Amino acid sequence: MPPRHVYVHVPFCARRCSYCDFAIAVRSRVPSDEYVQAIVRELELRSLGADVPVDTIYLGGGTPSRLGPDGVARVIHAVCDRFPPAPDAEITIEANPDDVSAESITAWRRAGVNRVSLGVQSFDDNALEWMHRTHDADRAATAARALADGGIDNWSLDLIFALPAALGRDWARDVERAVALAPPHISLYGLTVEAHTPIAHWRERGDAVEGTEDAYEIEYLHANRALTAAGYTHYEVSNFGRPTRFSRHNRGYWTGASYVGLGPAAHGFDGMTRRWNEREYAAWLSRIGENADPIGGFETLSDDNRSAERVYLGLRTTDGLALAPEHLEHVRPWIDAGWSTVSGGTIRLTPTGWLRLDSLAASLTMLRSR
């Protein structure tokens, strides 16, 4: 399948957030020139390009906004040279509040950016400090207002929930403050403790670093109620949007579309095979320096893999999944429990069902494979 989407991983961060296990490179000074040249070279070495215009380009990280306006423009230019965007393409940059200003917004827009994903996470300074975020609540609110003032009418605000109770973070107040800034889209992330992160070490030494399962459920369902009451559609397990502002890039992943990944740790998919690049920045850079494809690995999906993915991806959005009539009895207990609905031959999970997504998807996959 020709690629419909391009993802560019920009790994640089000022420091590692306490919960983060992403592929990042902590740098006080970002080597923008080196990085941009390597992206251009990766495009050449892999002979990448497409005749069919792409729907979305997404600069994720890491912190792409740390590339600086010129670095961002050069990356987008290099990608667009090989992958011409459709006239209405969605071009997103992930940004930390520290990097958002009238000047940076103007430069991003000039480069073609028309969507910004803002990493706010909380409006509680104590929680932000615990998370090792570099911004405070005022800075986050200022950045959000700057996006609206700067003419970015498609932007998303990220929040983290299920923080440890000991922090005393008021989740309902954070959701209220987010809504007051009127983002067209909101993404939620439930805190989980991943290996080798600072909070994993804190947990090892006996500190409480995660909320309880009950707190997770309570906060998740509170967000669902508050945000839908404020007019957002809860269209995917972790995402809420105004009707025309759902993430088109992520929707590509959820619908099994083909995409190209550039930069360290970036994944790509051609409809059959998933490949990923060397995860560490130094390893990725070194392979490109040797004029080699910086591939780190690949897997060709079996029919069973693809079927399992279809179920999992279908259940995570309000698009739902076609349900064979003979499977209706199997899911009736889910309907009775309020975890799903079935209408017109399609099963859709409810928010309480999304809290059980993994086990429900596994159960349905097993049923379909019999």
- Check binding of 216 to ligand SF4 (CB under 6 A): no
CB 303, min distance to ligand SF4, A: 35
Q: 27 vs 203, which CB is nearer to ligand SF4?
A: 27
Which residues are registered as beta bridge partners of 85? Answer: 54
CB 262, min distance to ligand SF4, A: 17
- Which of 8, 36, 39, 61 binds ligand SF4 (CB under 6 A)? It is 61
- Check binding of 146 to ligand SF4 (CB under 6 A): no
- Check binding of 279 to ligand SF4 (CB under 6 A): no
Which residues in the 24-53 window bind ligand SF4 by CB under 6 A?
24
CB 304, min distance to ligand SF4, A: 33
What is the distance between the alpha carbons of residues 318 and 290, in angstroms, rounded to a whole number? 45
What is the distance between the alpha carbons of residues 138 and 256, in angstroms, rounded to a whole number? 39
Q: 22 vs 202, which CB is nearer to ligand SF4?
A: 22
- Check binding of 193 to ligand SF4 (CB under 6 A): no
Interaxial angle between packed helices 32-45 and 68-82, expressed in degrees from 0 to 180 and rounded to the nearest 10: 10
CB 202, min distance to ligand SF4, A: 16
Q: 123 vs 235, which CB is nearer to ligand SF4?
A: 123
Q: Which of 168, 173, 157, 172 is nearest to 211 (CA)?
A: 168
Other beta carbons less than 10 A from residue 292's beta carbon: 11
- Check binding of 20 to ligand SF4 (CB under 6 A): yes
CB 285, min distance to ligand SF4, A: 18
- Check binding of 160 to ligand SF4 (CB under 6 A): no
- Which of 16, 201, 203, 348 binds ligand SF4 (CB under 6 A)? It is 16
What is the distance between the alpha carbons of residues 35 and 370, in angstroms, rounded to a whole number? 49
CB 120, min distance to ligand SF4, A: 11
- Which of 3, 38, 42, 63 binds ligand SF4 (CB under 6 A)? It is 63
Torsional class of 23: left (φ above 0), alpha (ψ -120 to 50), beta (otherwise): beta
DSSP state for residue 37 in the 8-state scheme: H
Residue written as token pair 């010129």: 70
* H runs (alpha helix) in 92-185: 102-111, 125-130, 137-149, 171-180
Q: How many residues bind ligand SF4, per CB under 6 A?
A: 11
Q: Which amino acid type is present at position 199?
A: I
CB 227, min distance to ligand SF4, A: 22
Other beta carbons less than 10 A from residue 246's beta carbon: 18
Which residues in the 65-104 window bind ligand SF4 by CB under 6 A?
96
Q: Which amino acid type is present at position 22?
A: F
Residue written as token pair 């095979």: 273
What is the distance between the alpha carbons of residues 119 and 128, in angstroms, rounded to a whole number? 11
What SS3 class is residue 247? Answer: coil
CB 185, min distance to ligand SF4, A: 18
- Check binding of 62 to ligand SF4 (CB under 6 A): yes
Applying CB under 6 A, the residues found at the interface with ligand SF4 are 13, 16-17, 20, 22, 24, 61-63, 96, 119
